[in-house]
Amino acid sequence: MYNLLKRFFDILISFTAIVILSPLLIIIIVVLLLTGEHEVFYFQKRIGYKNSYFYIWKFATMLKNSPKMGGGYITTRNDFRVLPFGRVLRKTKINELPQLINILKGDMSIVGPRPMVDETFKGFPEEIRYKVFDSKPGLTGIGSIVFRDEEDYVSRAKNSVSFYNEVIQPYKAELELWYGKNKNLWVDSKIIFFTAWNILLPKSQLIYKTFKSLPYKNLEQTLL
């Protein structure tokens, strides 16, 4: 019943959001066509539900073939590969809005674990890989909220690759496994609320007070 209701709300919310946001989306499309490399959308192969592949939609924010220019799949705060308008889109998370199309298609859900590329997915222990995507990947999720400033943490780490692989990845795995064990419509509703809440108050710790069993790691301390 949960899956049926969730799919119903996914279709309703994503379709409504596309209609309401269409003026903004059109403006962004025009700006992207006129600036940077004149690319509007970026399609990337990601791992989704039951570990099957799909292509995620995003607004183009980086130079073409950026993974081959150094840095790989890790993006830092002042990454030279990110285009000027792309910085605005990434900072506000507006670059993620085209994923509403993925939700309509059924590739994704409003709430769920973030879809991953092969490189990051392989960083999870094998037993975790078979559990994370028992849920459809989401436009937002518990990992997205906790790691809203992921680029900032990676940028300030002495070794960005090591910090990502040894700190961020294991913590993300804990968070997504927590979601898999606790998911229901009420939890999903709270996650949607906290997605908006953390845009306004990015340093807020209210999520840990609400979800008392949520795994916690002091990321600032791990940077020291």
DSSP conformation class of 69: G
- Tens of pLDDT, residue by residue over 35-53, are 988 899 999 999 999 999 9
Backbone angles phi, psi at 6, to 5 degrees: -65, -40
Structure tokens at 62: 């980086």
In this prediction, residue 180 carries a pLDDT of 94
Whole-angstrom Cα distance, residue 165 to residue 174?
14
In this prediction, residue 122 carries a pLDDT of 82
In this prediction, residue 14 carries a pLDDT of 97
Specify the range with the lowest mean pLDDT, choosing from 64-73, 85-94, 113-122: 64-73
Q: Which residue has the higher pLDDT, 87 or 123?
A: 87
Q: Which residue has the higher pLDDT, 213 or 162?
A: 213
Residue given tokens 């004149």 in the structure block: 38
pTM for the full predicted model: 0.87
pLDDT for 177 beyond 80: yes
Structure tokens at 6: 């969730």
Backbone angles phi, psi at 78, to 5 degrees: -110, 35
- Tens of pLDDT, residue by residue over 117-139, are 888 888 787 888 889 999 999 99
Q: How confident is the model at residue 98 (pLDDT cuts 50, 70, 90)?
A: very high
Whole-angstrom Cα distance, residue 109 to residue 100?
9
In this prediction, residue 195 carries a pLDDT of 92
In this prediction, residue 50 carries a pLDDT of 93
Whole-angstrom Cα distance, residue 184 to residue 178?
12
* Section 70-84 average pLDDT: 74
